[in-house]
Amino acid sequence: MIGVHSHFHSVSLSLRLSVPPSLNTRRTAPFFVAGILLAAAGCSDGKVIVRGAATVDGQPIAEGSISLEPADGQGPTTGGMIKAGQYELSGDAAAIPGEKIVRIVGLRETGKMVAAGPPAPKGTLIPELVQCVPPQYNDKSELRATVTPGKPNTHDFHLQSKPKASQSG
C-alpha cells in the first residue's frame, strides 16, 4: 500500500507598488478610480432598467405581470411583476434596447371569497381574483414600447377595459 500525505502551507504574499515621486496620488487617485469605473461600464451587457405604472380604467393593477418581447422576434424576452400598479425590470430582468411587444396580465379582487382548494385545508376561503386586462393587452397584444439605450426608461401603460365610444362630429 502506498500512503499519500498532504501538507498545506500558509503562504503570505505581499505586493508593494512603487509610485514615482512625480505623481501626487492624492490628485491622480480620483482619475484612476474614474477610469476603472468607465472601463467597467464599457463591459456592460447593454441592458437598461425599464419601470413605470400599469393601470386599467384608471385603477392600479393590484397584482400582475409584464413582459417585453422583441418586436422582430430576435433576442430574449424579459419581464417581471406588477405590484400596486408599479413595475421595474432591473438586474437580470433589465431590457435590451429596441422595439418591444408589451404583454400585461393583471388580477383584481372581486370582493367575493372562494374555496382555496388543495393543499389548503378544506373550508379555507381566499379572495377571488379575476383577470382585469383585456386580451388586446396580453394574449393578442397591440401594445408597443421602444426601449432606448443608455439610461433607465419609463413606460406607463394606462389601459382601458372597454372600447372608447367613437365621437362623431
Q: Is residue 24 part of a domain?
A: no
Consecutive 10-residue averages of pLDDT for the chain (169 residues): 38 38 45 40 74 96 96 95 97 97 93 93 92 92 96 97 59
Q: Is residue 89 part of a domain?
A: yes
Domain count, the chain: 1
Q: Is residue 76 part of a domain?
A: yes
Q: Is residue 95 part of a domain?
A: yes
Can you give the pLDDT at residue 30?
44
Structural domain harbouring 119: 50-159
Q: Is residue 1 part of a domain?
A: no
Can you give the pLDDT at residue 41?
40
Q: Provide φ and ψ at 86, rounded to 5°.
A: -125, 150
Question: What single DSSP character describes residue 95?
Answer: B
Q: Is residue 30 part of a domain?
A: no
Closest CA to 138 of 109, 107, 108: 107
Can you give the pLDDT at residue 19?
42
Q: Is residue 63 part of a domain?
A: yes
Can you give the pLDDT at residue 92?
95
Q: Is residue 81 part of a domain?
A: yes
For residue 69, give Cα distances in angstroms to 45, 89, 93: 17, 13, 12
